[in-house]
Amino acid sequence: MHESLDLSQQECETLLRSGVVGRLALSTPDGPHVIPINYSVVDDAIIVRTSPYSLLGTYGRDSTLAFEIDQFDHEYHRGWSVVARGRAEFVTDPAELEHIRAVWQPHPWAAGARGMHLRLAWDELTGRRLGAAGNPVAELRIRRAL
Amino acid sequence: MHESLDLSQQECETLLRSGVVGRLALSTPDGPHVIPINYSVVDDAIIVRTSPYSLLGTYGRDSTLAFEIDQFDHEYHRGWSVVARGRAEFVTDPAELEHIRAVWQPHPWAAGARGMHLRLAWDELTGRRLGAAGNPVAELRIRRAL
């Protein structure tokens, strides 16, 4: 049995800024939901796109969300995860939307209208390494050009 | 831009029964949390282990949870996800615990006391294929011996 170790804030942030897909958890009157979604970190916030008619468009606004990324290596029984939590809000300011588009024109993998940008500026960022020793940042399978 | 297509109930269940790690979303007074966790499907329920002092041990009992598994192929911009939702409860019946241990002796990757078994018998099971065409069941990277 291996240790579970906390990642440093710097490691968490590097991993978060390197990712392209994660999972967003939100609370609804019907209980929690978890939604896999393309994302990017723009400045100091996670940005995702959604439609106003989606669950996320309906319940994700002005509420606390949890966003998770991870990578698991089943062969070696190890992996890491990073969770960012904070209050999310829709981006409505035209200058900010222009900046987001300039930094990251989002390319969702699935078709559909996703005209709304949701911004999650995290105030909690935690990460853990699970299982056998490894260096999460060095072993990233995919990495944004930073 | 590719289509997003629903998976059949049979595909969702096959994928769910084949996995070893997923993410559990729960609502707490502090907002939603998402927890990566080892799991197994025993009969018709997702079983995870936790400690009574964890977030999951505190807020996961007798409440609705959402459990997600996925696999993303970044190179080809495609993937799939399956979400199971339902009410979770702790397993306390000795005969049922014995059955769970016989079918799946859980091997969490991280050290720590996880003496409690939480059972999530889903009443919602949905799945989606994202991006380019592919066969999620045929392309499983890891598969339990069924």
Walk along chain A (146 residues) in steps of 10 and give the mean pLDDT of each run.
79 95 96 95 94 92 96 81 97 93 71 82 94 70 50
pLDDT at A77: 75
Domain residue limits, chain B = 5-131
d(CA B111, CA B46) in angstroms, rounded, equals: 21
Q: Per-residue confidence at B107, pLDDT binned at 50, 70, 90?
A: low
Task: Name which of B27-36, B101-110, B113-122 the model is least confident about.
Answer: B101-110
User: Are the beta carbons of A33 and B83 separated by less than 8 Å?
Assistant: yes
- The residue assigned the tokens 């990073």 is A82
- Shortest Cα–Cα distance, B4 to chain A (Å): 5
pLDDT at B146 over 50: no
- The yes-or-no verdict on residue B82 having pLDDT over 90 is yes
Contact A18, A144 (CB under 8 A): yes
Please, what is the average pLDDT of chain B?
Answer: 87
Alpha carbons A34 and A20: distance in angstroms, whole number: 17
Q: Which chain A residues are Cβ-neighbours of B78 within 8 angstroms?
A: 109
Report the range out of A133-142, B62-71, B99-108 with the highest average pLDDT. B62-71
Interface list for chain A against chain B, based on CB atoms closer than 8 Å? 1-4, 20-21, 23, 25-27, 30-34, 36, 63-68, 70, 72, 74, 77-79, 81, 83, 85, 107, 109-112, 128, 130-131, 141-142
Check residue A55 and give its pLDDT: 93
Nearest alpha-carbon partner for A100 in A120, A85, A125: A120
Can you name the CATH fold of A4-131? Pnp Oxidase; Chain A (2.30.110)
% of chain B with per-residue pLDDT over 90: 66
Strands A45-50 and B5-6: unpaired
Contact residues, chain B, for A65 at CB < 8 Å: 31-32
A79:B25 CB<8 A: no
From chain B, pick out residues whose CB is under 8 angstroms from the CB of A141. Answer: 74
Cα distances (angstroms) measured from residue B106 to each of B46, B103, B109: 12, 9, 9
Kindly determine whether residue B33 and residue A83, on different chains, have CB atoms separated by under 8 Å.
yes
pLDDT at B130 over 90: no
For residue B84, list chain A residues with Cβ-Cβ distance below 8 A: none
Write the pLDDT tens digit of every residue in B4-63.
Answer: 689 999 999 999 999 989 999 999 999 999 999 999 999 999 999 999 889 999 999 999
Looking at chain B, the number of H-run helices and the number of E-run strands are: 3, 8
> What is the ipTM metric for this complex?
0.87
Q: Which residue has the higher pLDDT, B48 or B111?
A: B48
Q: Which fold has domain B5-131?
A: Pnp Oxidase; Chain A (2.30.110)
Whether the Cβ atoms of residue B114 and residue B51 lie closer than 8 Å to each other? yes
pLDDT of residue A136: 75
Instruction: Please state, in angstroms and as integers, the Cα–Cα distance from residue A92 to each residue in A24, A45, A102, A115, B39, following that order.
Output: 21, 15, 16, 11, 40
